[in-house]
Chain A
Amino acid sequence: MPVIELECHLGVGPEVSGEALVTDDNFSARYDLDRIKGIFSRPQHKLAGQSYVDKIMVFNTAKGGVASAWMLYEMKSRGIAPKAILFNYVNPILAQGAALAEMALCDRFAAGDITQLIRTGDRVTVKPAEGLVTITRE
Chain B
Amino acid sequence: MRLTADEQSMLDGQQGEPRRWAMEHMLRVGRFFDAADFVPVVQAHIMADTESLGEAGVEFLESLAAAPEAERRVRIPMITDPRGIDFCHYRRLKQTDAMAVLEQRAIDAFEALGIMMTNTCINYQTIMPPVRGEHLAFGDTGVVIYCNSVLGACSNFEGGPSALAAGLTGRTPRYGLHLEQNRRATRRFRVSCQPRYLSDWGALGGIVGARAGSYREVPVIEGIDLAPGSDEMKHLGAAMASFGSVPLFHLVGVTPEAPTLEAICDPAALEVEVIGEADFEDFFARYGGKGEKVDVVVFSAPQLSLLEMQSLADLLDDKKIHADTDMLAVTSPAVAADARRMGLVERIESSGALVLEGMCFYQSYAREMGEANSWTRLLTNSVKLANIIGGYGYQPTLSNMENCVASAIAGEIV
Residue B387 interfacial (CB < 8 Å): yes
- Cα A100 to Cα B160 with chains together (Å): 10
- Cα A77 to Cα B53 with chains together (Å): 11
Contact residues in B for A99 (Cβ distance below 8 Å): 25, 28-29, 32, 161
Contact residues in B for A33 (Cβ distance below 8 Å): 391
- Max chain A C-beta neighbours (<10 A), residue from B28, B55, B139, B391: B391
Asked whether A89 and B52 contact (CB < 8 A) given A64-B157, A96-B159, the answer is no
- Cα A35 to Cα B242 with chains together (Å): 19
Asked whether A70 and B390 contact (CB < 8 A) given A89-B216, A92-B176, the answer is no
What sequence of 0s and 1s flags, for each residue 377-406 of chain B, a beta carbon within 8 Å of any chain A beta carbon? 000000000011011110000000000000
Is A91 a contact partner of B215 (Cβ separation < 8 A)? yes
Residue A74 interfacial (CB < 8 Å): yes
Is A70 a contact partner of B57 (Cβ separation < 8 A)? yes
- Cα A101 to Cα B51 with chains together (Å): 16
Using a CB-CB cutoff of 8 Å, which residues 77-92 of chain A contact chain B? 77-78, 89, 91-92
Asked whether A11 and B32 contact (CB < 8 A) given A74-B57, A77-B54, A91-B245, the answer is yes
What sequence of 0s and 1s flags, for each residue 41-62 of chain A, a beta carbon within 8 Å of any chain B beta carbon? 1111100000000000000011
The B interface is mostly helix, strand or loop, or mixed, namely: helix
Asked whether A97 and B158 contact (CB < 8 A) given A10-B32, A74-B57, the answer is no
Residue A119 interfacial (CB < 8 Å): no
What sequence of 0s and 1s flags, for each residue 242-267 of chain B, a beta carbon within 8 Å of any chain A beta carbon? 11110000000000000000000000
The A interface is mostly helix, strand or loop, or mixed, namely: mixed
In this complex, the interface size class of chain A, counting residues with CB under 8 Å from chain B, is 35 or more
Residue B214 interfacial (CB < 8 Å): yes
Is B363 a contact partner of A67 (Cβ separation < 8 A)? yes
- Cα A38 to Cα B195 with chains together (Å): 39
Contact residues in B for A64 (Cβ distance below 8 Å): 141, 157, 241-245
